[in-house]
Amino acid sequence: MSKFIATRAIRGAHAAIKMADDTLQDALKKMGPDTPVVFKDKIGGGTAFYLPTIWGLLGTKVQKLGELVPVMDYARGLLPPVPAENMWLPYLGETLDAGAATLYAFETIEAVRFAKGEQPEKKDGFEYNGPINDTQMRAWGIQLVDGRMPGFAALVGCAKSTEVAVKIVRELQSKGQLIFISSNRNGRNVADQLREAGVEMGYDTFIVPFGTDIVSAIYALGFATRAALSFGGVEPGDYRRILLYNKFRCFAFVLALGPITDMEYAAAAGAINYGFPAFADTVIPNILPTGITKFEHVVSMPFDDIPGKDDLEKAERLVQRCIELRGIKIKIAKVPIPVAFGPAFEGEVVRKADLACEFGGKGGMCFEWLRMKGLDEVEDGKVTVVGPDMDSFAVGSKNPLGIVVDVAGRKMQKDFEPVLERQIHHMMNGGEGISHQGQRDITWIRIHKNAVAKGLRLRHFGDILHTCLKNDFGAIVDKVQVTLYTQPDKVKELIEQARAVYKERNARMAGLIDEAVDTFYSCTLCQSFAPTHVCVINPERVGLCGAYSWLDCRAAYEIKPTGPNQPVPKGRVINEKNGEWEGVNKFVNEHSQKKIERFTIYSLMDAPMTTCGCCECVMAIIPEANGVMIVSRDDYGMTPCGMTFTTLMGTVGGGLQTPGMMGHGKTYVTSKKFIPVEGGIKRVVWLSKNLKEELAEELKAACEREGVPDLMDKVADGSQVTTVEQLLPWLEEKQHPALTMDPIIG
């Protein structure tokens, strides 16, 4: 906590209390304690919430002047002493209390002003709005809840110039923020500036001028309080839930323009109670540690130091930074490209006759590389094309292309890079006239003539990726910037860098072992078909559909915390060898309608994972051969266990736990954690032919790793063996290791 700010805020709170006391005592003397106090806006719209901040936070209904006396007594009690010069102890708690006291004082002052008929305020023939009426609060409150409106910006003071004021307001409006105006600098405030520029203010334009002094800023908090009471289902007096509701639901902040007064610091401290951070365009100390607000509490952004070619650009950046710091995510309604965009174009093929140009493919050079960067290293929405563009390429020509996507986000993790990068394929294909295949350095993109004719250029790739990444992965991605390179030298240079990264990622994936994590992830997507099935996905075993890896699940959980992928803490180990943990058992039991009591990760014979309906492969023991066979979904033939894939599925599918049989993903066969309890890959005596071919390299590597490099020559497939009677002589002839291993059935 900054001593400077704490001192000034507490000093401001003292001043606010004094001002409220004086005003109230004077009014009581002149008008008597029974004088009614009622809030109304300039068109006479009222509120059923009494003095909303006082009612909401304290649960006190104030309807008469006299009822304000205990409120002020309470507020005074909150006030900490002003820190002495040599005292270094003012902490956050005290400052927040001072802020709360200020809010009660401000609402008291406005109430007295209403009693005196001095509100809503008039100045030079301009009528300020006063507090927002209930009808409007409801209309905006709904939008706050349903997400159409993120929150509000309370503008305090006066912008550097009229142009800057207008720019700030327009930028805020474009982000869907409500704008509240109060206070002044030397008698001028943003409302004055907007009037000069001829900008309409009022409910219709989402700009509400409250008043000329900082006291009127209380109407912003009255609005926030009522929103929580109405839409948060919070009872008056439950201050904690009101504050939390606003912290998480109402993306509001204070933007102080120009030098800040003590009383404004005090008001900002009050707003921080609600989780609303304060930003300033002047030099003040930052309060960075997070806690009360979602991110930083107070951030200084001296206007003249903001990068930008002129004041307008600085203003734009200022607003953008505020939006970022408050954690506001904005959805982009439409992908801004000259061709249509949507899932309907995913299957489009660009034929030779229609080809404008292509990138990558056979003999070409094209890559995609998504990198995580720091928040200050990425300029959101920036798309740069380095080199010649599509319209300059010869018809039908093949050109080099490098797509570098820089992503930043508070919740972004390095491990999500490949997860997001894999989505590029799906996103790019949504564009009409764009056909995308492959990934990493085997990307191949073909462009339709019509698309180029309609104006499609390389920068639109960037626009697609920016929009889709922000919309679909907004939970982890805050900023996206895309650079597209077409100069052969540059592409060649970058593709080497990218390849090094791919390699590094592969190595990281290989190093991502079960022992290195304390949390697995679940997948319950299939429960609509298999009600008791729970996939538990560990780093070394993909989901049995083959589609979800541990990393995918972790990212999916970050993106949708209520979704089908939930963290499964391993908990206390029950049996290290079998891979049985308390946490896993508990999770599986709870999510299988209590049907499955225990669950091992590493065994086929002892409480193996259940099987749903969509596994890529099924393995089954062949007791006669003392081994296991694996049949894949795309193998329609007979297997040595006497059942085809479909029949096997009928036996194990539907969420059953069947020792000796289990569904799994294709790549599981090559995992280090492939049924280790039963002896791993050495147990495999039969494989579907297509599986053997598809995974040839990985299988070879796995066999070498396990010290049986020639194992695959000893494993039969469907072209050689389809019955157990044929299998046994085959295995004996090849001297398959399974024959001499411990009995698989104990």
Partner 1 sequence: MALTGIQIYKFLPKTNCKECGQPTCLAFAMKLAASQAELSACKYVSEESKKALEAASKPPIRLVAVGAGDKKIEVGNETVMFRHEKTFFHRPGLVIRVKDSAGPEKAAKTAEEVGQYKVDRVGMTFGIDGIAIQNDSGNAATFAQCVAAVSAKTTLPLVLMATNPDSISSALEKVAKAKPAIYAATKENIDKMIELAKKYACPMAVRSSDGLNELAELTDKAAKAGVEDLILDPGVRGFGDTLVTFTQMRRLALNKRFEPVGYPLISFPGEGVASPDEEAILAGQHIAKYGGIIVLDHFSPAFVYGLLTLRLNVYTDPQKPIQMKPGLYQILEPKPTSPLCVTTNFSLTYFSIAGELEAAGWPSWLLVCDTEGLSVLTAWSAGKFDADKIAKTVKGQNAAEKVSHRNVVIPGGVAVLRGELEEALPDWKIMVGPREAMAVGGFLKEHWKS
Partner 2 sequence: MPGVEIPIEKWTGKIKEVKLGGGKRKEIVLGGENTLPFLSFEGSVPHPPTVAIEIQDKEPAGWSPILLSAWGDAVKDPATWAKKAAEYGAEAISLRLVSAHPEMGDTGADVAKKTVDKVLSAVDLPLIVIGPGVAEKDNAVLVAVSEAAKGQRIAIGNCEEKNYRTVAAVCISDGHAAIAKSPLDINLAKQLNILLTDIGVPADSVIMDLDTGALGYGLEYALSIRERVRLAALGGDAMVSMPVLSHAGAEAWRQKEAKASQGMPPGWGSVEERGIIWEELTALTVLNAGSNIVTMMHPKSVERIKATIHKLMGKK
Q: Interface with partner 1 by CB under 8 A: which residues? A: 343-349, 429, 435, 529, 531, 605, 613-614, 620-624, 633-634, 641-643, 650-651, 653-654, 656, 658-661, 724-725, 745
Min dist. Cβ of residue 295 to partner 2 (A): 21
Spatial distance between the Cα atoms of 386 and 16, rounded to a whole number of angstroms: 57
Structure tokens at 710: 């020639």
Using CB under 8 A as the binding rule, whether residue 527 contacts partner 2 is answered as: yes
Spatial distance between the Cα atoms of 210 and 131, rounded to a whole number of angstroms: 7
Residue 565 in contact with residue 557, Cβ under 8 Å? yes
The listed partner (partner 2, partner 1, none) that binds 305, CB under 5 to 8 Å by sort, is: none
Spatial distance between the Cα atoms of 334 and 345, rounded to a whole number of angstroms: 15
Q: Which residues of 203-237 are buried (b: 16+ CB within 10 A; e: fewer)?
A: beebbbbbbbbbbbbbbbbbbbbbbbbbbbebebe
Residue 15 in contact with residue 262, Cβ under 8 Å? yes
Determine which residue in the list 36, 233, 291, 336 makes contact with partner 2, applying CB under 8 A.
233
Which residue in the block uniquely carries the two structure tokens 């339709």?
448
The listed partner (partner 1, partner 2, none) that binds 230, CB under 5 to 8 Å by sort, is: partner 2
Q: Pick the stretch among 79-87, 144-152, 354-362, 375-383 that binds partner 2 (CB under 8 A).
A: 144-152
Min dist. Cβ of residue 111 to partner 2 (A): 25
The listed partner (partner 2, partner 1, none) that binds 524, CB under 5 to 8 Å by sort, is: partner 2
The listed partner (partner 1, partner 2, none) that binds 145, CB under 5 to 8 Å by sort, is: partner 2
Q: How far apart are the first and last CA of the chain?
A: 66
Min dist. Cβ of residue 33 to partner 2 (A): 33
Instruction: Specify the residue, 200 or 742, whose C-beta has the smaller distance to partner 1.
Output: 742
The listed partner (partner 2, partner 1, none) that binds 354, CB under 5 to 8 Å by sort, is: none
Using CB under 8 A as the binding rule, whether residue 237 contacts partner 2 is answered as: no
Min dist. Cβ of residue 246 to partner 2 (A): 12
Using CB under 8 A as the binding rule, whether residue 334 contacts partner 2 is answered as: no
Instruction: Specify the residue, 562 or 735, whose C-beta has the smaller distance to partner 2.
Output: 562
The listed partner (partner 1, partner 2, none) that binds 231, CB under 5 to 8 Å by sort, is: partner 2
The listed partner (partner 1, partner 2, none) that binds 743, CB under 5 to 8 Å by sort, is: none
Min dist. Cβ of residue 9 to partner 2 (A): 31
Q: How many residues does the chain have?
A: 746
Spatial distance between the Cα atoms of 564 and 524, rounded to a whole number of angstroms: 5
Min dist. Cβ of residue 146 to partner 2 (A): 3
Using CB under 8 A as the binding rule, whether residue 63 contacts partner 2 is answered as: no
Min dist. Cβ of residue 354 to partner 1 (A): 11
Q: Pick the stretch among 118-126, 185-193, 521-529, 726-734 that binds partner 2 (CB under 8 A).
A: 521-529
Spatial distance between the Cα atoms of 91 and 239, rounded to a whole number of angstroms: 21
The listed partner (partner 1, partner 2, none) that binds 621, CB under 5 to 8 Å by sort, is: partner 1
What H or E segment, with its residue span, contains residue 650? helix 645-652
Using CB under 8 A as the binding rule, whether residue 152 contacts partner 2 is answered as: no
Q: Which residues of 11-50 are buried (b: 16+ CB within 10 A; e: fewer)?
A: bbbbbbbebbbebbeebbeeeeeebebebebbeebebebb
Instruction: Specify the residue, 78 or 596, whose C-beta has the smaller distance to partner 1.
Output: 596
In sequence order, what DSSP letters do the residues of 568-593 get, joined into one string? EE--SEEETTTTEEHHHHHHHHHHTT
Task: Give 676's DSSP letter.
Answer: G
Spatial distance between the Cα atoms of 476 and 493, rounded to a whole number of angstroms: 30
Min dist. Cβ of residue 141 to partner 2 (A): 7
Q: Work out the angle at residue 89's Cα, subtended by the Cα atoms of residues 88 and 93, and round it to the nearest 5 degrees.
A: 145
Taking CA atoms, 545 is separated from 550, 665, 723, in Å, by 13, 6, 27
Min dist. Cβ of residue 467 to partner 1 (A): 19
Determine which residue in the list 86, 186, 562, 740 makes contact with partner 2, applying CB under 8 A.
562
Residue 251 backbone zone (phi > 0: left; psi -120 to 50: alpha; other: beta): beta
Residue 137 in contact with residue 230, Cβ under 8 Å? yes
Question: In DSSP terms, which residues pair with 299 in a beta bridge?
Answer: 279
Determine which residue in the list 52, 83, 130, 141 makes contact with partner 2, applying CB under 8 A.
141
Residue 218 in contact with residue 180, Cβ under 8 Å? no
Using CB under 8 A as the binding rule, whether residue 136 contacts partner 2 is answered as: no
The listed partner (partner 1, partner 2, none) that binds 237, CB under 5 to 8 Å by sort, is: none
Taking CA atoms, 26 is separated from 35, 215, 263, in Å, by 13, 18, 21
Min dist. Cβ of residue 232 to partner 2 (A): 5
What H or E segment, with its residue span, contains residue 92? helix 92-115
Using CB under 8 A as the binding rule, whether residue 569 contacts partner 2 is answered as: no
What H or E segment, with its residue span, contains residue 426? helix 423-429
Spatial distance between the Cα atoms of 194 and 201, rounded to a whole number of angstroms: 8
Residue 681 in contact with residue 706, Cβ under 8 Å? yes
Interface mask toward partner 2 for 655-694; x: CB under 8 A: ----------------------------------------
Min dist. Cβ of residue 722 to partner 1 (A): 11
Determine which residue in the list 200, 343, 351, 528 makes contact with partner 2, applying CB under 8 A.
528
Using CB under 8 A as the binding rule, whether residue 333 contacts partner 2 is answered as: no
Q: Going along 526-652, which residue ranges are E strands?
A: 535-537, 567-569, 573-575, 580-581, 617-622, 627-632
**Using omega within 30 degrees of 0 as the cis cutoff, is the peptide bond preceding 120 cis?**
yes
Instruction: Specify the residue, 83 or 360, whose C-beta has the smaller distance to partner 1.
Output: 360
Min dist. Cβ of residue 565 to partner 2 (A): 11
Min dist. Cβ of residue 532 to partner 1 (A): 8
The listed partner (partner 2, partner 1, none) that binds 703, CB under 5 to 8 Å by sort, is: none
Number of helices and strands (H, E) in the chain?
23, 26
The listed partner (partner 1, partner 2, none) that binds 594, CB under 5 to 8 Å by sort, is: partner 2
Residue 744 in contact with residue 683, Cβ under 8 Å? yes
Q: Pick the stretch among 142-150, 326-334, 413-421, 630-638 that binds partner 2 (CB under 8 A).
A: 142-150
Q: Pick the stretch among 145-153, 384-392, 653-661, 708-716 that binds partner 2 (CB under 8 A).
A: 145-153
Determine which residue in the list 64, 76, 123, 138 makes contact with partner 2, applying CB under 8 A.
138
Min dist. Cβ of residue 547 to partner 1 (A): 8
Instruction: Specify the residue, 307 or 343, whose C-beta has the smaller distance to partner 1.
Output: 343
Q: Pick the stretch among 66-74, 154-162, 188-196, 523-531 that binds partner 2 (CB under 8 A).
A: 523-531
What H or E segment, with its residue span, contains residue 224? helix 218-231
203: Cβ contacts below 8 Å, ≥ 6 apart: 129, 132, 136
Min dist. Cβ of residue 394 to partner 1 (A): 24
Instruction: Specify the residue, 450 or 658, whose C-beta has the smaller distance to partner 1.
Output: 658
- Per residue, the 3-state secondary structure of 353-419, as one string, reads HHEEEEEECCCCCEEEEEEECCHHHCCCCCEEEECCCHHHCCCCEEECEEEEEEEECCCCCCCHHHH
The listed partner (partner 2, partner 1, none) that binds 651, CB under 5 to 8 Å by sort, is: partner 1
Using CB under 8 A as the binding rule, whether residue 586 contacts partner 2 is answered as: no
Spatial distance between the Cα atoms of 400 and 631, rounded to a whole number of angstroms: 41
Q: Pick the stretch among 65-73, 156-164, 478-486, 520-528 that binds partner 2 (CB under 8 A).
A: 520-528
Residues near partner 2 (CB under 8 A): 138, 141-142, 145-147, 230-234, 245, 249, 524-525, 527-528, 531, 562-564, 593-594
